[in-house]
């Protein structure tokens, strides 16, 4: 099974540490327990951080079942990302996140892309307030000026305002187009 191979690679048995058989026994037991859970596979071929993040999220529940402590789980993630998502790829994704702009994307698609890339720059969205500001920064100018004026404090509030204002702007544009093509009433 590929997952177990990955775990073995991330937690290799070092012949010099065989004196401490209990540490090796723990790793072996955890790998056996992990295999029994039939976790989703990860082949290691993708350099997409989103694929790696999704795989980690899927297997995180398994860590509870194999009695993996937080330190072990964090170390696993660290080694996993070092091996399968190198620093240069992470830096490129972080730069993509920093430059992300809504452009012609509907708000829901911009939000989706924002959420995907935010995992590559957690230090930029490590509070609700910072996440809200980062999202606002990339909005289209006609939306941004209205959303920023509300001085909203949370990411959820910014998302909601963006959705409402976007719909309102779309409706206004639609009315203007319809109004220009309709015949005017001249009385009588």
Give the torsion sign (CA, 146, 148, 98, 125): negative
pTM: 0.64
pLDDT tens-place string over residues 84-126: 888 888 899 999 999 999 999 999 999 999 998 998 899 999 9
Lowest-pLDDT range of 15-24, 36-45, 137-146: 15-24
Cα–Cα distance measured from residue 183 to residue 16, given in angstroms and rounded to the nearest whole number = 88
Q: Taking 50 as the threshold, does the pLDDT of residue 16 lie above it?
A: no
The predicted structure's pLDDT at residue 142: 95
On whether the CB atoms of residues 24 and 54 are closer than 8 A, the answer is: no
Per-domain residue ranges of the chain: 2-15+22-85, 93-179
d(CA 111, CA 102): 9
Q: What is the mean pLDDT of residues 24-42?
A: 79
């Amino acid at each position: 099974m590929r997952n177990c191979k990955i775990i073995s690679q991330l937690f290799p048995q070092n012949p010099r540490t065989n004196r401490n058989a209990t540490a090796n026994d723990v790793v072996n037991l955890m790998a056996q327990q992990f295999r029994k859970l039939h976790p989703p596979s990860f082949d290691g071929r993708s350099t997409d951080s989103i694929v790696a993040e999704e795989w980690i999220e899927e297997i995180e529940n398994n860590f509870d079942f194999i009695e993996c402590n937080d330190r072990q789980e964090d170390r696993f993630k660290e080694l996993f990302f070092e091996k399968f998502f190198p620093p240069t790829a992470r830096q490129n994704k972080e730069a993509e996140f920093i430059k992300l702009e809504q452009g012609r994307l509907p708000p829901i698609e911009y939000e989706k892309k924002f959420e995907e890339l935010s995992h590559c720059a957690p230090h930029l969205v490590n509070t609700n307030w910072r996440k809200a500001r980062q999202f606002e920064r990339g909005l289209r100018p006609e939306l941004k000026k209205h959303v920023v004026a509300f001085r909203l404090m949370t990411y959820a509030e910014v998302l909601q305002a963006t959705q409402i204002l976007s719909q309102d702007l779309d409706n206004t544009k639609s009315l203007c187009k319809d109004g220009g093509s309709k015949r005017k009433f001249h009385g009588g």
